A and B are shown apart, each in its own frame.
Chain A
Amino acid sequence: MAFAHHHSGNMGAFLMLDTLAARSGLRSVSPALKTLLSIGSLVLCVSVGDAVVGAAVACSMLVILRLPGRIPLNRLLRLLLAPAVFLALSCLVLLLTAAAEPVGIWQLRLGGLWLCITEESLHRTAVLCFQALGAVCCLLFLGATTPMAQLIEVMRRCHVPEVMIELMYLIYRYLFVLLEVQRQLTTAASARLGYDGWRRSVTTAGRVGGTLLASSFRRSSACYDAMEARGYTGRLSFLCHMPPLRGRHVLAAGTYLALLCLLILVRKGRLF
């Protein structure tokens, strides 16, 4: 994890994904298969709307990421922190219902109103929470095991419009370039006490943003010259080494989806 210190900023967790993907034990699995598995499980998890299925998807995805994916657990938990906080806040709102009379299994008096938790709201919240958690873990599986270049190439093969593909490549590349410029500007500003106190911090942050925008504009024409110099004529394409589809990987993914379907059938009472 020698590279981690580069990204100890606020976007750390997000930028960590690509580093994890580059070292993941699943990087040699075909990205198309991983996309299929991830999106397939996500669709199943969201469409069924069952807490147990959601929890099963979330747990199994984390196990896959930890064991064959060889991603340290603390990294996974750090990546899950932001969505988990968001989810917890939304669930809290969903869990509580305001009523004139105390109802349900738990109540709290707030002036003339009662905040209640009913069995119905508890059930609804549990379903939504685990559904969302399952979906997040599906995407995490894809993101933490597939380098961005391969993901974009998969999208290109799925006939996502060319302009979006180019934008994704450029945004992803310049994210790092601009982040570095922003870091330098911020350091230079704090060296001159630009972040001394709240008011000054706000002003300085605004100026840093403005300078970043201006320098991006200047940089863009230099970048375009460099692209043209290498014969760019309107289509951005790169060589991308795609790991091939392997029989045992297909078998594993198929087994996973089959087991998931089986669980869904059991939960829906169609079986046993």
Chain B
Amino acid sequence: MKEPILQLEHVSYAYPDGPLAVEDLSFSIERGERVAVLGRNGAGKSTFFLLCNGILEPAAGTIRCGGRVLGRSRRDLTELRRRVGIVFQEAENQILAVTVEGEVSFGPMNLGLPAEEVSRRTGDALKRMGLEEYGDRSPQFLSGGEKKRVTIADILAMEPDVILLDEPTASLDPENVARLEETLDQLTAVGIALAVSTHDVDFAARFAGRGVVFSRGKLVADGPLTSIFSRPALLAEAGLRKPWIWQAAEQLRPGREEYPMTMEEFARWQ
């Protein structure tokens, strides 16, 4: 078995004056792996992301990155934030600078890199997101899809091992969703591990083989998406539905354990 790049062991977290938001969570992800994170609003998905990146301090449990336990020292936190990036749902909450180039350079600047290195990484990240021409544009003049690409470039410039995307498809039109899927393929190709939280089970089925399901602060399932969608009780508990293609196939030939989830699988399905 491959060494996990990020590993959470028995992590719990409670917001001040609140019940446990995440309870006894164990999760690990390998280099280049893709995971769909499913569950209702408020089930703990965002809290899970914030814990992975050290924004929230776990009340119990440990976080390992590349095999090493990372604590709360400034050095460890910087290391964790470099290796695990979060692309937030609302681009407006993430974009900070008044030019696109400045925005993408914010992460590398915080890592304390020399100016030439910051410049190289910023240029690389912009290029990979197809934003070379946008360097001195102001973020307020960008479209929704462009803003999303800027927020991904933000994280790419930090050259992370894992990227967590919080509902990246939520505000995108179908064309930009297709573009996002291509982008995610590129990231996987260079070995970056991806965890994507989403309410769109059809997107999840196209995106990943593995899924994790949150319900009331607990990780209630972790495994192949096909096994998740074949458990009606789990789907009811987590407020999920089956992908449309799965449902259509089930209508055609009822009574099977598993069904195809994507168009490609459906085309090959017997």
Return the CB mask of B114-132 against A: 1 if under 8 Å, else 0: 0100110010000000000
Closest 7 CB pairs of A and B: A239-B105, A238-B102, A231-B110, A176-B140, A230-B107, A226-B94, A222-B93
Return the CB mask of B90-104 against A: 1 if under 8 Å, else 0: 101111111101111
Interface contact A149-B98, CB-CB below 8 Å: yes
Interface contact B93-A226, CB-CB below 8 Å: yes
State which residues 62-94 of B face A: CB under 8 Å: 74, 78, 81-82, 85-86, 88, 90, 92-94
Interface contact A222-B88, CB-CB below 8 Å: yes
What is the predominant secondary structure among interface residues of chain A facing chain B? helix
State which residues 12-40 of A face B: CB under 8 Å: 18-19, 22
Interface contact A173-B96, CB-CB below 8 Å: yes
**A74 at the binding interface (Cβ < 8 Å):** no
State which residues 221-249 of A face B: CB under 8 Å: 222-223, 225-233, 236-241
Q: By the criterion of a CB under 8 Å from any partner CB, how many residues of chain A are at the interface? A: 34
Known A22-B138, A230-B106, A230-B154; 13 more pairs at CB < 8 Å: A19-B138, A22-B136, A147-B99, A222-B88, A226-B86, A226-B94, A233-B74, A237-B106, A238-B101, A239-B101, A239-B115, A239-B118, A241-B136
**A199 at the binding interface (Cβ < 8 Å):** no
**B158 at the binding interface (Cβ < 8 Å):** yes
Interface centre among B98, B102, B105, B110 (most CB of A within 10 A): B98
Q: Which residues of A contact B103 (CB under 8 A)?
A: 238
Interface contact A149-B50, CB-CB below 8 Å: no
State which residues 154-192 of A face B: CB under 8 Å: 169-170, 172-173, 176-177, 180
Q: In the assembled complex, how far is the CB of residue A269 from the closest CB belonging to chain B, in whole angstroms?
A: 47
* Count of chain A to chain B residue pairs whose CB atoms are closer than 8 Å in the complex: 110
Given A225-B55, A229-B55: A239 in contact with B81 (beta carbons within 8 A):
no
Q: Which residues of B contact A176 (CB under 8 A)?
A: 138-140
Q: In the assembled complex, how far is the CB of residue A233 from the closest CB belonging to chain B, in whole angstroms?
A: 7
* Option from B90, B97, B109 in Cβ contact (under 8 Å) with A173: B97
Q: In the assembled complex, how far is the CB of residue B59 from the closest CB belonging to chain A, in whole angstroms?
A: 18
Q: In the assembled complex, how far is the CB of residue A182 from the closest CB belonging to chain B, in whole angstroms?
A: 13
Q: Quick one: closest A residue to B112, CB to CB? A: A231
Given A229-B55, A229-B81, A238-B105: A169 in contact with B88 (beta carbons within 8 A):
no
* Option from A147, A230, A241 in Cβ contact (under 8 Å) with B158: A230
**A3 at the binding interface (Cβ < 8 Å):** yes
**B141 at the binding interface (Cβ < 8 Å):** yes
* Alpha-carbon gap, A152 to B103, bound state (A): 15
Q: Which residues of B contact A169 (CB under 8 A)?
A: 96-98
Interface contact A231-B98, CB-CB below 8 Å: no
Interface centre among A148, A169, A176 (most CB of B within 10 A): A176
Interface residues of A (CB under 8 A from B): 3, 6, 18-19, 22, 147-149, 152, 169-170, 172-173, 176-177, 180, 219, 222-223, 225-233, 236-241
8 contacts between A and B (CB under 8 A): A18-B98, A19-B141, A225-B88, A226-B88, A229-B88, A230-B154, A236-B106, A237-B109
Q: Quick one: closest A residue to B103, CB to CB? A: A238
Q: Quick one: closest A residue to B99, CB to CB? A: A149
Interface contact A6-B141, CB-CB below 8 Å: yes
Q: In the assembled complex, how far is the CB of residue A242 from the closest CB belonging to chain B, in whole angstroms?
A: 11
Return the CB mask of B36-56 against A: 1 if under 8 Å, else 0: 000000000000001001010
**B144 at the binding interface (Cβ < 8 Å):** no
Interface contact B55-A228, CB-CB below 8 Å: yes
* Alpha-carbon gap, A228 to B77, bound state (A): 10
Given A239-B105, A241-B136: A233 in contact with B93 (beta carbons within 8 A):
no
Q: Which residues of B contact A231 (CB under 8 A)?
A: 78, 81-82, 107, 110-111, 158
Interface contact A230-B81, CB-CB below 8 Å: yes
**B137 at the binding interface (Cβ < 8 Å):** yes
Interface contact A241-B135, CB-CB below 8 Å: yes
* Alpha-carbon gap, A170 to B95, bound state (A): 10
Q: In the assembled complex, how far is the CB of residue B51 from the closest CB belonging to chain A, in whole angstroms?
A: 12
Q: Which residues of A contact B74 (CB under 8 A)?
A: 233
Q: Which residues of B contact A148 (CB under 8 A)?
A: 98
Q: In the assembled complex, how far is the CB of residue A191 from the closest CB belonging to chain B, in whole angstroms?
A: 21
Interface contact A223-B140, CB-CB below 8 Å: no
